[in-house]
Structure 1
Amino acid sequence: MIITKTRKVVVVGAGFVGSSYAFSLVNQGIAEEIVIIDVNTSKAEGDAMDLNHGMPFASPAKIYSGNYSECHNADVVVIAAGANQKPGETRLDLVEKNAKIFKEIVNKVMASGFNGIFLIATNPVDVLSYATWKFSGLPAKRVIGSGTILDTARFRYMLGNYYGVDTRNVHAYILGEHGDSEFPAWSHAYIGSQSLADFSKTRNIDPVQAEKDLQGIFENVRDAAYHIIERKGATYYGIAMGLARLTKAILNNESSILTISTLLRGEYETEDVYIGVPAIIDKHGVQSILEFNLPPDELEKFNKSAKVLKENIRIIQKHFS
């Protein structure tokens, strides 16, 4: 794939996530052309108008509402459309209804002649990324789910807050499903170049207390979406910023390491499933997957998470024909 000079991004879905993502693109000057598509054409038009009115404060960009024909020369198509997660509902509860919506969307995008990169944000993101790969017929490296990019960001933020260091100096990862079966790769969690156990010593934190506190931090990360949904109805700012970061890595050909959902072909003793792992992202999509040498207990958690996702993929397999 060759990145066009226009750095064109199409956003499908002008809900909370899609609108926040478009806003992030404009604020960060990431794209030069942004198209917004939604079944509610008035909402898409209104968002485009609103964003255009901020152009005097931003980098130049062409922003407008459109239809699926606009995808033909897009570098990136981001799908943020679909049914939202309701209070008390898990991300996997959404699988059947959103698979039907996605089949229609992806077919329309591909009918335009699209040959770029899909970014998937809608939940359950791992299952819907797999479905998009199947529906589109594109190479798996060009269908990327947001995966655990937000979970990892939450994890790093909370660890930085706990230890009193800049979150950008925390190197830690949440792997697996973007959902209840995700887990922290404690074996590969560092602050600077120190393990969390070693860094806890520099802060004079009792090892037993640190272990208890760190488990609480992970539980808050895992359940963060439920807490936010209870308070404001939906989560959108954090994931929008994560999608913007992914888009920037693609358009700038950064070769950045980000925890995304991608197809495994034997990595982590797993195959034929989209799941959250660290990967190198460049202008071609997923350049390569980083396979951590996980200890047996963490590898077991990874495989259990993959099993959950495979069971949900089977639920929507009928839509792939």
Structure 2
Amino acid sequence: MFEGKTSRVAVIGTGFVGTSYAFSLLNQEVVNELVLIDINKDKAEGEARDLNHGLPFGAQMKIWAGKYEDCREADIVVIAAGANQAPGETRLDLIDKNTVIFKKIVSNIMASQFHGIFIVATNPVDILSYATWKFSGLPKERVIGSGTILDTARFRYSLGEYFQVDSRNVHGYILGEHGDTELPVWSHASIGSRPVLSLIKDNPNGKAELDSLFADVRDAAYHIIERKGATYYGIAMGLVRLTKAILRNENSILTVSSLLEGEYGLDNLYIGVPAIINKNGIKKVIELELDDREMEKLKHSAKTLKDAMQPVLLHD
């Protein structure tokens, strides 16, 4: 947190993701002011009170349940509201109902004269990031989806477990839809500057084991939802990481949902790609040199999203 500078984050939606994010912000000393906004005002009030009672043990900050008008002075608005993914549902199944919800939410936020940066966490995050960009009228760099930031973290964690290496020293990306068509970029995955694929060359089962590892990464949400009903801790930590990159002007590279306008040969859609993040939002999309198979999978993922975007275009 910058000394002497007030930084405010507004969280829309005090469900599992929104409150886990708020709790992580409190623990990591990221902002001075945190406002919780929810259609259920009592829920927001209860969460704010509960968080405030932790202040003697955490960072000094102001936390309150507020209204959309409080977004006016916010540096960042994080949208975590909307219908949750139920067991057996894909993220794309949520498009219709969450698009309607988002149109109202974004309109209310923009009516406050908000001029900061949106972070979108609600699924399907790529399509709802596009909807937020369209509904808000803000420049593309100021609307960021959480994208594949969590998938990439899951990927690095799993590779760290597989190779018995600290996951913070594993480098690799998951690109594409935050969902069933995402893809691992094996051509750029490395540990200690050594390509991951070279580390398994003497293991006859290595490629099959890595394919299985990725399948577990891709399907992680389904496994967690079956067991506990929802996922929220991992994404909350990812959202805090993104928040820090913005407020601290880090120029960090994170895999977020960004609007592409020609990058990777794709246009007019939000999709998970590595991008440089700073105080202005998305400074630049990083174009990795993908092999032919990876590019084919990325284009398939993009087509899946484009085909699913019709409800958003109808609300435009």
Name the TM-score, length of structure 2 as normaliser. 0.98
Listed as ranges, the gaps of 5+ residues in structure 2 are none
For the aligned residues, what is the CA RMSD?
0.9
Cα distance between partner residues in 1 of 2:121 and 2:7: 20
Structure 1 distance, partners of 2:228, 2:298, is 31
Contact 2:127 2:309 in 1 (8 A): yes
Q: Which residue type is aligned with residue 273 of structure 1?
A: L
Match of 1:237 in 2: 233
Structure 2 residue 85 is the aligned partner of structure 1 residue 89: no
Match of 2:220 in 1: 224
Residue in 1 that maps onto 2:138? 138
Which residue matches 2:183? 183
Pairs within 5 Å for 1:283-298: 283-298=279-294
User: Which residue does 1:199 correspond to in 2?
Assistant: 199
Q: Does 1:159 align with 2:159?
A: yes
Partner residue, 1:318: 314
- Residue equivalent to 1:308: 304
Query: What secondary structure does 1:110 align onto?
Result: helix
Q: CA deviation at 1:318?
A: 1.2
- The Cα of 1:13 is off from its aligned counterpart by 0.1
CA distance in 1, matches of 2:198, 2:309: 41
4+ residue stretches of structure 1 with deviation over 3 A? none
Please name the residue that 1:79 is paired with. Answer: 79
Aligned-pair CA distance for 1:259: 0.2
Q: Could you say which residue in structure 2 is the equivalent of 1:103?
A: 103
Offset of 1:258 from its aligned partner? 0.3
Conservation of the 8 A alpha-carbon contact between 2:74 and 2:116: yes
Separation (CA, whole Å) in 2 of partners of 1:197 and 1:94: 36
Partner-residue secondary structure (3-state), 1:60: coil
1:210 to 206, 210, 230: 206
Q: Whole-Å Cα distance in 2 between the matches of residues 235 and 141 of structure 1?
A: 27
Task: Write the distance in 1 (CA, Å) between the matches of 2:5 and 2:100.
Answer: 34
Amino acid at match of 1:121: A
* Cα distance between partner residues in 2 of 1:61 and 1:200: 48
> Where does residue 57 of structure 1 map in the other structure?
57
Give the Å deviation of 1:191: 0.6
Offset at 1:198? 2.5
5+ residue gaps, structure 1, are none
* Cα distance in 1, alignment partners of residues 285 and 264 from structure 2: 10
Give the Cα separation in 1 of the matches to 2:314 and 2:188.
38
CA distance in 2, matches of 1:95, 1:271: 20
**Distance in 2 separating the partners of 1:7 and 1:210:** 47
- 2:15 aligned partner, one-letter code: G
| CA distance in structure 1 between the aligned counterparts of 2:120 and 2:172, rounded to whole angstroms | 23
- What is the alpha-carbon distance in structure 1 between the residues aligned to residue 99 and residue 75 of structure 2? 24
1:312 CA displacement? 1.3
AA aligned to 2:96 is: E
CA contact under 8 A between 2:99 and 2:311: conserved in structure 1? no
Match of 2:30? 30
Counterparts of 1:143 and 1:135, CA distance in 2: 11
String of CA shifts for 1:44-88, please: whole Å, max 9, x gaps.
011111111011111110000000000001000000000000000
Q: Which residue of 2 aligns with 1:265?
A: 261
Cα distance between partner residues in 2 of 1:238 and 1:168 = 15
2:117 aligned residue:
117
2:21 paired with 1:12: no
Q: Distance in 1 between matches of 2:307 and 2:191?
A: 36
Cα shift at 1:197: 2.5
Q: Structure 2 CA distance, aligned partners of 1:26 and 1:83?
A: 25
CA contact (8 A) 2:200 2:207 kept: no
Work out whether 1:248 is the aligned partner of 2:244: yes
Aligned identity (percent) is: 63
TM-score (norm 1): 0.96
In the alignment, which residue of structure 1 is the partner of 2:40? 40
CA distance in 1 between partners of 2:44 and 2:240 (Å): 19
Q: What letter matches 1:295 in structure 2? A: D
Distance in 2 of aligned mates of 1:209 and 1:27: 42
Spell out, residue by residue over 1:188-233, the C-alpha distance to the aligned partner (whole angstroms, 9 max, x if none): 10112000123336xxx51x31101100010000000000000000
